[in-house]
Amino acid sequence: MNNSSISNTESMIFGNFSDLIIKKILGSILHGIGKSLRLVELSQKIENLREKLSTELGYFVDTTPIHGIPATSNGEYGFIVSSDSSPHKLAVYARASHKWNVRVVETESPDENFMEPRQLNWNKTGSPRYYAINKLKKATDSVDIVLETVVRWLN
């Protein structure tokens, strides 16, 4: 083997290796951009729902979590919503997966026929951290279902 064939072999090996590295870096960048775009889209959906509940329907909307819900540290983005005509305060939030939850985080009238206590004794008082709404125990990808649930529980 002469020096020319060694350098061609090295060039082929290192060239392919650098192509793989570039593809991996570009893939990571594109994945990050895609994830960022999904979060921007999600935050817009959250803002639109918050605005509809507040402005159009007249509910009280607050971004301060109750009992740590929603928790941005857990990837939950949302708000608290309540009304004068309901004994409940609801946490409305979504995750980056675009799965939405509605939880009763405060209530003066727990009704276990319609809600299930979760994370009992979380604060050493024996009270639940929140109540899961029986008809929406699992997350949904439908903002319309979230809106219907909030209206049903706050009217």
**Euclidean distance between CA atoms 69 and 77, whole angstroms:** 9
Q: Establish if 1 belongs to a structural domain.
A: no
Sheet hosting strand 128-133, strand order edge to edge = 60-62, 77-82, 88-94, 100-107, 128-133, 115-120
Does 142 fall in a domain? yes
R_g of the chain computed on alpha carbons: 24
Q: Which amino acid is at 107?
A: T
Residue 31 lies in a domain: no
| Those residues with Cβ within 8 angstroms of residue 124's Cβ, 6 or more apart along the chain or in another chain | none
pTM over 0.75: yes
Q: What b/e string do you get for 49-60 counting C-beta neighbours within 10 Å, with b at 16 or more?
A: bbeebeeeeebe
Cβ neighbours of residue 88 under 8 Å, at least 6 residues apart?
A: 82, 104, 106, 107, 108, 109, 153, 154
Is residue 141 in some structural domain? yes
The pLDDT, as a whole number, for residue 23 is 77
In this prediction, residue 25 carries a pLDDT of 79
User: What is the total count of domains within the chain?
Assistant: 1
Whole-number pLDDT of residue 122 = 75
Cβ 93 vs Cβ 70: under 8 Å: yes
Asked if residue 108 is part of any domain, the answer here is yes
Residues 100/93, Cβ–Cβ less than 8 Å: yes
- For residue 4, tell me if it sits in a domain: no
Is 143 contained in some domain?
A: yes
What is residue 46's predicted lDDT score, i.e. its pLDDT?
95
User: What domain range includes position 131?
Assistant: 44-154
Q: What is the structure's pLDDT at 35?
A: 67
Q: Is 28 a member of any domain?
A: no
- What is the reported pLDDT for 130? 95
Q: How far apart are the first and last CA of the chain?
A: 85
Instruction: Identify the segments of the chain with pLDDT beneath 70.
Output: 1-18, 30-32, 34-37
Collapsed DSSP state (helix, strand, coil) of residue 152 = helix
